[in-house]
Chain A
Amino acid sequence: MKKLLLSTTALLFALAIGPAFAQETIVVGTDVDAGTLDSRLTRDTTAYRVADLIYSGLVHITPQLEVVPDLAESWETPDPQTFIFKLRDGLKFSDGTPLTADDVVYTYTTLLNPDFNAPMRTLYTPIRSVEKVDDMTVKFSLDAPYAPLLSYLDLGIVPQELAEGGHDIATQPVGAGPMKLTSWNRGAEIALEANPEYWGGAPRIEKVTLKIIPDNSARAQAFEAGDLDVIQSPLSPQDISRLAGDDRFGNAIMPGLGVTYINFNTKDPLLSDPKMRQAFSMLVDQQTIVSDIYQDVDKVASSVLLPSSWAYSPDIKQPTFNIEGAVALFNELGWTDSNGDGILDKDGNKLTVTLATHSEDPNRVQTIEFLQAMFSQAGVDAKTQITDWPSFSTNYVQKSQHQIALLGWLNIVDPDRLLFSQLTTGGSTNWGGYSNPKVDELLQKGRSSLDQQERAAAYQEAAKILAEELPYFIVSYQGYQLFYDKELPTEVTATPRGYLRGLIGMEN
């Protein structure tokens, strides 16, 4: 009898704790392997997402893109060019060593060193120096006021002692984030486990595994077969509609932080007149591109400001699709079909233009082909040029060899990130050579004012000019999608950046 009672108790106990332990691992599908897991050198989405789990930064960015304390407990700005961060008590890296102001100084100093070749270095260049005040306090001094800075200070802090001692942070990362690396099988999977040393305590989910499946459709099928618990963008539009209709899965479909846009080379003789750029922009049938090629996963864009941003204004509008209007504008500029061959011409020259994009993204290739058809309907002799990304970027767009190129920008956590380097005179990524002193002034004001309303006003004014002069024509705002198994033990919070803290039982 006693034995029976015991075994019943054991059984009940097992039943009671069973489900709690049933799902302590989450398997996430991803498209590429991380290149490096050194938070200062990350450059692909997988690396960003894993680094966000392994490391913590001074601050954390919420799904609503608000800046909240992470390693830093608080901060103050005695003047617009100084930020002083106070670290939390008793911070530790996952290997148990303490995290101090020295590590923060080390992380940012190495990042800013040009020889370190950090991909994101440009975002931090307004920082003049990072100094330790005491073990718990760090002071950032800037060359000029730089409002977007806080949005970039979620950069993961690396341990100085390990990194300087020759430990390879890139392959065996050690951070102070909610999880730590257990194994990394290159090209196959990255395995993480909860970090009990995290200042907020170990997260609810004990293990996260990222499985690398390059093919979008195969990744969706593996998710449906139950091999994966979570998948997220990039996904094929047709897979998205199928998964969204499957009631085994929960989903989060929201605006992302990226845009797909047309880059006009304003230095090209044909395109130097803003009116020409307007006419070409009026040939872009955004609605059809978004609904037929992107299956409504992306949304029709109206300006350089994202709808999710505090700077957004629905009143700012780029030209919309209007073939007759475009042709009328071409005629006004002297381009007419004088010889009746269906192609506009001027002074004996045909209106010929080259549309270019890169081959990796089939949706962009389709968009370019569609644009070519629309252009020829309006009497423009459009040629297409499609090459792979390294050739397209290095030898073509970045050398300003293009006329009209279809591209994208990601991670636009602040309007500055889409506009400053890209559209100010001589900006480091101003491949179209655009220059307008008024825009320069407004974008400078946007980044240096610390008052959000003032910033919004500056960006809106700049966006209004840009919507007329069109160095960029924003085709669509990219969407973000996340699908998850409804059996997951935790509440799922998605963020448009695709970060995973919201899957492991943390709030975001």
Chain B
Amino acid sequence: MIAYLIRRLLLFIPMAMGMVVVTFGLLLIIPGDPASVLLGQEASPEAIERLRDSLGLNDPWYVRLWDYFASLLSGDLGTSIFQNQPVATIILGRLGATIELAVAALVIATVLGLAMGVVSAMRQGSIIDTITMIFAQLGVSMPVYWLSLLLMLAFAVQLGWLPAIGRGMPLPEAFWAAITGRPQALMDSLSHLLLPALALSATPAAIISRLTRTSMLEMLREDFVRTAYAKGLRRPRVIIRHVLRNALLPVLSVIGLRFGMLLGGAVLTESIFAWPGLGQLTITAISQRDLPLIQGIVLTFALIFALVNLLVDLLYAAVDPRVRLG
């Protein structure tokens, strides 16, 4: 088990190097450089050339790639060209917000998706099934951008129940404040979190519900379910112990994958709700050609994705005794 973990973690190194090279190559291909963006339209060509030189953009690509690897090995992600701060500091400052949003969206999506999936599988063909599946269809096909604006219009502008934009205190801090007698901060944080998390959860909730439904229906037809009933087990026990537990396996791996996608999907939601996370940062960094920052963000996403997949594999083993890691 430990050996398996170490092997998985070591595998991350070549993967990360691959990511760096691919990103680097892409950044070489796309035209436009940070020097001209940094200096703006009014800058003279000489000024732009001078800045290119001082940023090292005129060095051959292999020198730049080598320099980047060398500094990576010493644990340095470089300095953002535009914010003039260490890339690691900038990313760490944003990471919490994105993870908070993604986790909240995933929790909502899982709870909603599982509930809808289970209910519609149990009542296959009924009106409840139809309604849930219509919702699932809507959830998959509705652009998150549009849904976000719609939610904001309904709950913030018209009803005025929730704030339209921004983020409260980070959740862990807000929980602490609530424990130490200031529940207001927690309410504030949650009220800011609710709309963007809801918007972001629509697609994964829909996918999870459809997958759960299909998977449950398959399991309900299995022999061991009939056997369980024949043994005289009661329906709730059969459903929970035998059907749901088996049906959850494919759902679990999808939830894991979805988490990775949520990090990426947060880009639009974040910029609409002014949520200060990595998604927003990604857009800005790319539009400014802030090369070290883009590299750093890509690496961070890759690392999170790899870690989440590892976690899902471990969970898989825990849920399904047939899976053995080694």
Contact = CB atoms under 8 A, between A and B. Distances in A.
B286 to A, nearest CB: 9
Contact of B50 (A115, A171, A391): A115
| Central interface residue in B32, B40, B273, by most chain A CB within 10 Å | B32
A254 interface: no
A391 B30 contact: yes
B43 A222 contact: no
| Central interface residue in A120, A221, A392, by most chain B CB within 10 Å | A221
Contacts of A396: 31
B83 interface: yes
Contacts of A170: 84
B15 to A, nearest CB: 28
B284 to A, nearest CB: 7
A170 B84 CA distance: 8
Given A186-B90, A227-B165, A391-B31, A218 B44 contact: no
Nearest to A38: B84
B315 to A, nearest CB: 33
A390 B93 contact: no
A119 to B, nearest CB: 5
Contacts of B112: none
Interface string B230-258: 00000000000000000000000000000
B31 A225 contact: no
Nearest to B283: A214
A409 B164 contact: no
Nearest to B89: A186
6 contacts: A218-B164, A218-B273, A221-B149, A360-B287, A390-B287, A428-B43
Given A117-B54, A394-B32, 12 more contacts: A43-B40, A171-B85, A186-B276, A213-B274, A218-B152, A218-B271, A388-B32, A391-B31, A393-B37, A393-B41, A394-B48, A407-B41
A36 interface: yes
A392 B32 CA distance: 7
Nearest to A360: B287
Contacts of B48: 394, 398
Contacts of A360: 287
A35 interface: yes
A212 B156 CA distance: 18
A389 interface: yes
| Central interface residue in A32, A35, A395, by most chain B CB within 10 Å | A35
A224 interface: yes
A227 B39 CA distance: 33
Contacts of A277: none
Interface string A193-233: 00000000000000000011111011101101111000000
Nearest to A44: B40
A339 interface: no
Prevailing SS type, chain B contact patch: helix
Nearest 10 A/B pairs, CB to CB: A390-B32, A428-B44, A188-B276, A391-B31, A222-B164, A395-B31, A213-B274, A225-B156, A225-B164, A391-B32
A225 B160 contact: yes
Nearest to A117: B51
Interface in A161-201: 168, 170-171, 185-189
Nearest to A187: B276
Interface in B86-144: 90, 93-94
A122 B42 contact: yes
| Central interface residue in A36, A225, A398, A421, by most chain B CB within 10 Å | A225
A171 B82 CA distance: 12
A398 B42 CA distance: 11
Given A221-B153, A224-B157, A119 B40 contact: yes
Nearest to B51: A117
Given A218-B152, A218-B272, A213 B165 contact: yes
A340 interface: no
Interface in B181-203: none
A123 interface: yes
Interface string A33-70: 10110000001000000000000000000000000000
Interface in B26-78: 30-48, 50-51, 54
A390 B289 CA distance: 7
Contact of B33 (A35, A122, A390): A390
Contacts of B216: none
A121 interface: yes
Contacts of A23: none
B47 to A, nearest CB: 7
Contact of A227 (B30, B164, B276, B288): B164
Contact of A221 (B93, B157, B280): B157
B163 interface: yes
A409 B47 contact: no
Nearest to A35: B82
A78 interface: no
A429 interface: yes
Interface in A218-254: 218-219, 221-222, 224-227
B166 interface: yes
A366 interface: no
A25 interface: no
A269 interface: no
A215 B163 contact: no
B38 A43 contact: yes
| Central interface residue in A188, A213, A224, A398, by most chain B CB within 10 Å | A188
Contacts of A212: 274, 276
A19 interface: no
A390 B285 CA distance: 12
